[in-house]
Structures are given as C-alpha cells and as structure tokens.
Amino acid sequence: MSNRTELEKLGEFGLIEHLTKDFKNEQPNTVKGVGDDAAVIDCGEKYTLITTDMLVEGVHFNLMYTPLKHLGYKAVVVNLSDIYAMNGDATQITVSIALSNRFSVEAVEEIYKGIKKACELYKVDLIGGDTTSCHSGLIISITAVGEVNKNEVVYRSGANDNDLIVVSGDLGGAYMGLQVLEREKEVYKNNPNMQPELEGYDYILERQLKPEARKDVVHFLKEMGIKPTSMIDISDGLASELLHLSKACGLGLSIYDEKLPVDQETFNTAREFNLTASIAALNGGEDYELLFTIKQSDFEKIKDNKHFTIIGHINDKNSAATIVERNGTVQELKAQGFNHFKA
C-alpha cells in the first residue's frame, strides 16, 4: 500500500507547487505561468494578465451574515486585486457559478447585482462564464483578465537587498470584522430573538463584507514615478505574503511591529477580543491591500504619502524573514493565517 500524504501537510500553496512542478510551458508567448498573482502572456504591444479565484460557501463565506449582493461584489474584487498586484489594469472577467436548488432566481439576481456594481466601478466587462448545479451550497469562480505595459509589469521575485517594504492602507480590519460577525452568529444561534450588536463596527464590517481592490495604488505609484521592484496582494495575511516575497526573490527581510498600520476601530476591536492588533494585521488576511518593495532612492517620494507605510526592508540572501517586536526582540516571521486543508 502506498503512503498517504495529507493535504494539510502541504497546505494550499505547497499543494499547487507540488502538482505543477513538472509542467513545462510549451507556448513561446507564456512569459509567466504558475507562481505569481497572475499569469503573464505576451500578446504583442502589451502583456495580458490572467488570474482566477474561487469562493466556496462554508469555506470563504457564510450566508448567515453575508448579503448575496455583497458576495457578488467581493467575488469580483478579490480577483481584480491580483491584476493590480502585477501593476496592471483589469479589463474583463468571466463568472462561473454552481448552486443548489435551494437558491431562487431572485437570489442569483442579487449576486449578479453585486457583480455588476463591481464591473461598473472598476470599469471591467463581464464577457462570459458558466452556470451549473451542485448538490449543496454555492460556488463562485471568477477569472479576471488585465493588461500591463511590458516595461511596467511587477513580479513577486524582483526585490533586491536593502529595498524598502511598503504596504498600502491599513491591516487587520477584515479579520476583526469576521470575528464580530462570527460572534453575533453564535449569539443568534443560541437565541434567535436577539438582535445582532453591530453598531460601532462599520469600518471593519465593510472591510470583511465589501472590500475594495487597490486600483488607485497602481495609479498613485505611476503618478509618483515609482515602479515597485516586487509586489503581491494581501489576501492570506501579511506574514504569509511577506514569506511569499522572501521565497520568490531568495532574500531575507525584516519588518517592525510598531510600523504596522492599524485603524483605530481594528485596534479597539482586537482588544475587545483579547487579541493584539498586530496578530490581526499579520495573520488575518482578506485586507486586499498591496504589499510591495521599492528602491531606497524612492524613499523621499513616498515617505510622507498618507496611502503608504514603510514597514521594513529586504536583507541579504543568507538571512531569514524576521519581525522586530516593540521591545526590540527579533522573532522569526511565521505564517499563521488560514490553511484551506487543515483538519
């Protein structure tokens, strides 16, 4: 009998790497295949970017507290974020949906209202997809297409020693929004007559239920004359994404706990749940901010910009990925975010 390897042992990204390691690109116009936020195809004057992502009921969302319109919107946004992480512009999407007969036509219309809203806001076209049935639940799979000038594409692997590590926006809000929703769900299950207590959590609930992709960041950077040396979007938690960058460029890095950008509402809610805000920022995920590196020479251009926070720097290839705590101690950076295959 052959040995059995549990999916949990490899995790999502380890499994992808394991399954695709023997695939070789046969087409000369495939510039980048598996291993970045999006694939890169040479289509002549520009590169075409392609990415796909799937949202599964019970894994990525809970319909007890996720409005269907918000779900449709979020499903689009999480894909567009990968296009922006390549320093590109999103142009089209396809939508494939599998659903059971517990969903009505009106329910599916609500999902598509959210999809339409996202398409209008981000100026992308819905150009196709597929609809099928499944025995239980709801699955939405979206493929996003984009484009980027050949000299402007940014990969995860481009960082160099001494580059500065920068993040857009603030972190941990989506995770704390999820904690509030899960708490109120449990209260409701125990007493359906109780009204959910959601007042005062507006910002973090929106971060969870209706996130935005940072299309604006790509344009801010171009206006500032900055081309990142590497970039990735923050979907699985800052720590996880930092380790992806470190592995892709083959270099170490250091970040500083005191530099992590956290909104006051996120900070207050974390304390309410007996968590530190930095734990939410490092491991929460679903913020869909952009994490990128820049040359030291671009420091003056970005240092006072309210949209960005410099949180650390890249080190040489013989060093590890570390975080400097507020008390000055240095710890190895570990990804403790969501593992899709954890038992």
Q: Are 255 and 242 in contact (CB under 8 A)?
A: yes
1: in domain: no
Say yes or no: 142 and 285 in one domain: no
Mark which of 149, 164, 194 sits at the end of a domain.
149
338: in domain: no
339: in domain: no
Half-sphere exposure of 328 (CA within 13 A, CB side): 0
**What's the pLDDT at 51?**
97
How does strand 321-324 pair with strand 253-256? parallel
**What's the pLDDT at 343?**
46
**What's the pLDDT at 251?**
97
Say yes or no: 140 and 65 in one domain: yes
Say yes or no: 114 and 161 in one domain: no
343: in domain: no
Say yes or no: 179 and 324 in one domain: yes
**What's the pLDDT at 197?**
81
**What's the pLDDT at 139?**
96
Distance between CA atoms of 308 and 295, rounded to whole angstroms?
15
186: in domain: yes
Say yes or no: 78 and 177 in one domain: no
Cross-sheet strand order for the sheet of 138-149: 30-32, 39-42, 46-56, 138-149, 89-99, 125-133
Q: What is the CATH number of the domain that holds 192?
A: 3.90.650.10
341: in domain: no
Task: Determine phi and psi for 109, rounding to 5 degrees.
Answer: -60, -40
Say yes or no: 140 and 253 in one domain: no
Say yes or no: 116 and 226 in one domain: no
264: in domain: yes
**What's the pLDDT at 19?**
84
Say yes or no: 136 and 166 in one domain: no
Say yes or no: 244 and 126 in one domain: no
Mark which of 121, 149, 177 sits at the end of a domain.
149
Q: What is the CATH number of the domain that holds 138?
A: 3.30.1330.10
- Interhelix angle for 68-84 vs 215-224, to 10°? 30
Mark which of 125, 149, 173 sits at the end of a domain.
149
Range of the domain at 62: 7-149
Distance between CA atoms of 59 and 67, rounded to whole angstroms?
16
Say yes or no: 174 and 307 in one domain: yes
Say yes or no: 163 and 141 in one domain: no
Say yes or no: 212 and 138 in one domain: no
107: in domain: yes
Q: Are 272 and 278 in contact (CB under 8 A)?
A: no
**What's the pLDDT at 223?**
95
Domain count, the chain: 2
Q: pLDDT tens per residue, the chain (343 residues)? A: 468 888 887 777 678 788 878 888 888 899 988 888 999 999 999 999 999 999 999 989 999 999 999 999 999 999 999 999 999 999 999 999 999 999 999 999 999 999 999 999 999 999 999 999 998 899 999 999 999 999 999 999 999 999 999 999 999 999 999 999 999 999 888 888 777 888 899 999 999 999 999 999 999 999 999 999 999 999 999 999 999 999 999 999 999 999 999 999 999 999 999 999 999 999 999 999 999 999 999 999 999 999 999 999 999 988 999 999 999 999 999 987 655 545 4
Q: Which two tokens stand for residue 98?
A: 């599998």
Q: Report DSSP letters for 285-341, one per residue.
A: -----EEEEE-GGGHHHHTT-TTEEEEEEE--TTS-EEEE-TTS-EEE----S--TT
